Amino acid sequence: MEYHDAKPSTALQTHIHSFWELKGDDTDQQWERIFPDGCPGIIVNLGAPCKTDNGQSTMDYGKTYVVGAMTSFKDTFIDRHTHLLGVCLKPAAFSSFYNYASQHELTDHTFEFDLSYSLDAEKIKADSNTYLNRYFLDRKKSSHQPMQPILNDIHLSNGNLSISEIARRNFTTVRQLERLFKIQIGLTPKEYVKIIRFQLALSMMSDVRKKSLSDIAFECGFYDHAHLANEVKLHTGLTPSQL
């Protein structure tokens, strides 16, 4: 399997993490597991039909799909005919490019995008980075991101703030915060905070200078080793030792 990603132009980096491309090869015939990171995405299929959403959805050649934020893992089948190109948007950035559904309607699902929003597969094949940068620069409605201070608080604390404290810091109520997350991100504040904490633990578990699970649990704000193991199982379907 061949995978590579690229940063978007500087003007898009506040809204887009990366453009990525995945191609299967002759050795591939397996389900690949993706873990939740709080981000929505756009995918165009440049290859054969591709099963995703744990086999519940199929992405067809030339079509564009919108992928909602995930609360748990997702499996996609990769073989030698697979060729996908994607855009990893930053949390709450979707509405800066599209007037589309509230994000909670997309959570944990992959939907075929409306034709008017679809990416041009032929232009992508010719020069994907140039085309994608121009496409999203043309669609970008505003640089203003009202949720950014909230997300900054969560990320700077590594997900170790209570929801009431996040609301207090940002001069809002818990109910208003929950509504904002539902519309803009598709997750509850609690789900998002848990994902950020899980992602930190995951990065520490994959570090070559591995610490004990108890140390990782303590540093990431989990109650104990068992709490960490339960969160890993929830988000990956695997035990820490299987990662």
- Which CATH number fits the domain that encloses residue 226? 1.10.10.60
Per-residue pLDDT band at 90 (split at 50, 70, 90): very high
User: Nearest-CA neighbor of 75 among 22, 21, 35, 23?
Assistant: 35
Mark whether 123 and 187 lie in a shared domain: no
Query: Do 13 and 121 share a domain, yes or no?
Result: yes
For residue range 59-70, list pLDDT tens digits in order.
999 999 999 999
Under the banding of pLDDT at 50, 70 and 90, the label for residue 107 is: very high
Last residue of a domain, one of 85, 115, 139: 139
Q: What are phi and psi of 48, to 5 degrees?
A: -70, 165
pTM across the whole model: 0.93
What pLDDT, on the 0 to 100 scale, is given for residue 211?
A: 87
Bigger pLDDT: 146 vs 121: 121
Domain's final residue, options 90, 122, 139: 139
Tell me: do 21 and 127 sit in the same domain.
Answer: yes
Asked if 106 and 153 sit in the same domain, the reply is no
The arithmetic mean of pLDDT across residues 77-90, rounded, is: 98
Question: Residue 208: its pLDDT value, please?
Answer: 63
Q: What angle do CA 41, 232, 66 make, to 5 degrees?
A: 10
The answer on 220 and 130 residing in a single domain is: no
pLDDT band for position 155 (50/70/90)?
A: very high
Same domain for 154 and 132?
A: no
Tokens 């929801």 identify what position?
163
Shared-domain flag, residues 135 and 194: no
Residue 84 forms beta bridges with which residues?
Answer: 22, 45
Q: What is the mean pLDDT of residues 21-47?
A: 97
Q: What is the mean pLDDT of the chain?
A: 95
Domain extent at residue 134: 2-139
Tokens read off for 6: 């690229």
pLDDT at 105 over 80: yes
Enumerate residues 6+ apart whose C-beta is below 8 A from 226.
none
Mean pLDDT (whole number) for 144-157: 94
Same domain, 153 and 130: no
pLDDT over 90 at 228, yes or no: yes
227 and 129, same structural domain? no
Examine the fold and report which residue of 82, 116, 139 is the final residue of a domain before the chain moves on: 139
Per-residue pLDDT band for 217 (boundaries 50, 70, 90) equals very high
- pLDDT grade, residue 209 (50/70/90)? confident
Which whole number is the average pLDDT over 8-28?
A: 96
| pLDDT over threshold 80, residue 142 | no
Same domain, 7 and 57: yes
Residue 214: CB atoms within 10 Å: 12
Residues 50 and 109 placed together within one structural domain of the fold: yes
CATH of the domain at 24: 2.60.120.10
Instruction: Quote the pLDDT of residue 243.
Output: 86
| Count of domains for the chain | 2
Q: Are 80 and 100 within one domain?
A: yes
**Burial track 74-107 (b if 16+ CB lie within 10 A, e otherwise):** bbbbbbeebbbbbbbbbbbbbbbbbeeeebbebb
Give the type of residue at 13.
Q
